[in-house]
């Protein structure tokens, strides 16, 4: 594949900025440079925001029915270019093409469809019943777009996360400046380029580059009304602080440390398969991964033994080979970080029952695979118990009393995902209600649907995304009273 050189998409044009440096994007499955993207500056962010600001009056006054029709056309543009987009997304991030086809693409198409189908009926004007005003009044509530929205996304699901933000923002009548992760902007820039054929210039802009420069400039920009951010809790904290200066609206989708509880009656094979998938989907580089598993002592050894068999069967390789079932770490510094967590667990006395080493792929020595790794005897003072690793590493904790398991599952600053494995739906639901997480599964993991909202509790962030209701976080209410 030839090296793709990309710039920003600003005001309908895609061009590399002369002043900018380039960032190499490396395929983590083989170590080859596949693209170079522009390291955007604050001045370039300023241009993109100015373009989005200029486009806002026209876009907000476009009737909702027309915006809905244009959103429907986005699905057609994606569909017509799917092969190219999947190739770009996967080669730059290590995401398996099979995952894109089975999860990311259907999920983002469902989001587009939901908004395209329901936007025209959305109550942009509400007529609340009025009881307390002395004279006859006409009272309405207008739901109005915010203006320019900054959308900042991470590297683990670049296209999906961008669409989760962009579609409701556009549906509400806002214009957007997208700042993708420095290591995964390639497919997003291509999408933005393609969308220029159907959207007015300036409605969708992309500035690529580092978070500390382009991202920070977007968050601080006085003409940006809202930041929707998905990424780590530490960055989210910085964004919240900076956004306070200009009182920007903020949605924060942050890190996680998903806890699953396997009850004594958990079906062994289903639980083993589900809990293995929970921590190894995209090699654990997913915010909702199930990375702590509390197993009742009566089934602990049997369940762990079966999970070790399943985890060891995963195959590294090219992300385009249908036989590949394990993704690489997305880039070298992240690979080093995950290996650091594995070393810390060994030093802190956890028992390694499988994995724990780099995985060497014979014809790709520069690849960044790590063996699926399971530690038992993990205790609450260990780093792997508390911190988000974002790699193929599971902490197993044996328990005897279910109330202890619930307490330990909730003993985390995060609150994004959790799960219960059980043969008893009533008991499972009762425990699920006690778990502090925005999404709780029973006897499955990672299932999501565009029909319900998604988001975090505690330091996993706030705000809800994905379903039609997420449009509300891109709108503001204006109360209108008249005595005519």
Indicate if 287 belongs to the active site.
yes
Q: What is the SS3 assignment for 199? A: coil
* Structure tokens given for 470: 């997420």
- Cα–Cα distance measured from residue 374 to residue 311, given in angstroms and rounded to the nearest whole number: 9
Which residue lies nearer to ligand NAD by CB, 182 or 193? 182
Interface with ligand NAD in residues 145-174 (CB under 6 A): 152-157, 161
Reported for 138-143, long-range contacts at CB under 8 A and 24+ positions apart, including other chains, are 138/481, 138/482, 138/483, 138/484, 139/479, 139/480, 139/481, 140/479, 140/480, 141/477, 141/478, 141/479, 141/480, 142/477, 142/478, 142/480, 143/172, 143/472, 143/475, 143/476, 143/477, 143/478
Kindly state the smallest distance separating residue 126's Cβ from ligand NAD, in Å. 29
Round to whole Å and give the CA distance between 287 and 428.
23
Chain CA centroid to CA 457, Å: 15
Site string for ligand NAD, 238-257 (x = CB under 6 A): xx-------------xxxx-
- Give me 362's structure tokens: 């014979």
Interface with ligand NAD (CB under 6 A), residue from 416, 420, 428, 431: 416
From 90, 92, 149, 287, active-site residue: 287
Please name which of 305, 283, 303 lies closest in space to residue 293, comparing C-alpha atoms. 303
Stretch that binds ligand NAD, among 25-33, 136-144, 354-362, 455-463 (CB under 6 A): 455-463
Q: Which is nearer to ligand NAD, 195 or 254 (CB)?
A: 254
Does 179 engage in binding with ligand NAD (CB under 6 A)? yes
- H or E element at residue 194: helix 186-195
In angstroms, give the least distance from the CB of 479 to ligand NAD.
32
Given 261, 388, 405, 418, the residue binding ligand NAD (CB under 6 A): 388
Please report how close the Cβ of residue 73 comes to ligand NAD at its closest, in angstroms: 27
- Residue with smallest beta-carbon separation from ligand NAD: 211
390 part of the interface to ligand NAD, by CB under 6 A: yes
**Residue 456 interacting with ligand NAD (CB under 6 A):** yes
Q: How far is the CB of 173 from ligand NAD (least distance, A)?
A: 24
Our CB check for ligand NAD shows the closer of 44 and 388 to be 388
Residue 287 found at the interface with ligand NAD (CB under 6 A): yes
DSSP result, 257-279: -EEEEE-TT--HHHHHHHHHHHH
How far apart (Å, rounded) are the C-alpha atoms in residues 420 and 428?
A: 6
The correct pick among 94, 211, 415, 419 for binding ligand NAD (CB under 6 A) is 211
* CA–CA separation, 449 and 427 (whole Å): 24
Question: Where does 191-344 show beta strands of DSSP type E?
Answer: 204-206, 224-230, 249-253, 258-262, 290-296
232 binds ligand NAD (CB under 6 A): yes
Q: Which two tokens stand for residue 462?
A: 């706030």
Helix axes 64-80, 158-172, angle to 10 degrees: 160
Q: How many residues bind ligand NAD (CB under 6 A)?
A: 34
Query: From the CB of 253, what's the least distance to ligand NAD, in Å?
Result: 3
From candidates 6, 27, 91, 235, binder to ligand NAD by CB under 6 A: 235
CB of 17 to ligand NAD, least distance (A): 17
Beta strands in 355-466 (DSSP E): 358-359, 369-370, 373-376, 393-399, 414-415, 417-421, 439-442, 457-458, 461-462
Tokens describing residue 292: 């702590």
- Contact pick of 36, 41, 91, 181 for ligand NAD (by CB under 6 A): 181
Identify the active-site residue in 253, 388, 436, 465.
253
Which H helix or E strand runs over 33?
strand 33-39
Is residue 258 close enough to count as binding ligand NAD by CB under 6 A? Answer: no
Confirm whether 253 is a catalytic residue.
yes
Q: Does 216 bind ligand NAD (CB under 6 A)?
A: yes
Residues belonging to the active site: 253, 287
Which chain residues interact with ligand NAD by CB under 6 A? 152-157, 161, 179-182, 210-212, 215-216, 219, 230-232, 235, 238-239, 253-256, 287, 388, 390, 416, 456, 460-461
């Amino acid at each position: 594949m030839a090296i793709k050189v990309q710039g920003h998409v600003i005001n309908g044009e895609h061009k590399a900025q002369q002043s900018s440096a380039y960032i190499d994007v490396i395929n983590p499955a083989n170590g080859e440079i596949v693209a170079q993207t522009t390291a955007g500056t604050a001045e370039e962010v300023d241009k993109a925001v100015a373009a989005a600001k200029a486009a806002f009056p026209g876009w907000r006054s476009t009737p909702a029915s027309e915006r809905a029709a244009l959103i429907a056309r986005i699905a057609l543009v994606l569909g017509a270019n799917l092969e190219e987009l999947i190739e770009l997304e996967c080669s730059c991030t290590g995401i398996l093409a099979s995952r894109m086809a089975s999860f990311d693409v259907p999920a983002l198409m469902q989001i587009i469809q939901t908004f395209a189908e329901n936007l025209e009926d959305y109550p942009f004007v509400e007529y609340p019943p009025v009881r307390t005003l002395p004279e006859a009044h006409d009272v309405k509530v207008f739901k109005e777009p915010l203006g320019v929205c900054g959308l900042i996304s991470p590297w683990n699901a670049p296209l999906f996360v961008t669409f989760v933000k962009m579609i409701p923002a556009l549906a509400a009548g806002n214009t957007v400046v997208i700042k993708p992760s420095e290591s995964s902007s390639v497919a997003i820039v291509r999408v933005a380029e393609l969308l220029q054929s159907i959207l007015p210039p300036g409605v969708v802009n992309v500035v690529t580059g580092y978070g500390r420069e382009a991202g920070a400039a977007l968050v601080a920009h006085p003409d940006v009304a809202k930041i929707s951010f998905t990424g780590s809790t530490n960055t989210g904290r910085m964004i919240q602080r900076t956004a306070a200066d200009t009182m920007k609206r903020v949605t924060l989708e942050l890190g996680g440390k998903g806890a699953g509880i396997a009850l004594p009656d958990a079906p062994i094979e289903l639980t083993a398969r589900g809990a293995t998938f929970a921590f190894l989907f995209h090699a654990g580089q997913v915010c909702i991964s199930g990375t702590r598993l509390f197993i009742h002592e009566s089934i602990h050894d049997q369940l762990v033994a079966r999970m070790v068999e399943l985890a060891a069967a995963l195959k590294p390789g090219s992300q385009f080979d249908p036989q590949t079932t394990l993704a690489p770490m997305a880039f070298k510094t992240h690979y080093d970080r995950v290996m650091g967590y594995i070393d810390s667990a060994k030093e802190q006395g956890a028992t390694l029952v499988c994995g724990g080493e780099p995985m060497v792929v014979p014809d790709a020595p520069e690849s960044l695979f790590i063996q699926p790794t399971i530690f038992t005897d993990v205790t609450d003072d260990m780093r792997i118990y508390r911190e988000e690793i974002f790699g193929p590493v599971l902490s197993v904790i044996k328990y005897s009393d279910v109330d202890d398991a619930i307490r330990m599952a909730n003993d985390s600053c995060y609150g994004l995902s959790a799960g219960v494995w059980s043969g008893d739906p009533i008991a499972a639901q009762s425990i699920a209600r006690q778990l502090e997480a925005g999404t709780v599964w029973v006897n499955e993991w990672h299932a999501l649907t565009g029909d319900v909202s998604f988001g975090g509790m505690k330091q996993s962030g706030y705000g809800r995304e994905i379903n039609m209701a997420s449009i509300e976080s891109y709108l503001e209410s204006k109360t209108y009273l008249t005595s005519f």
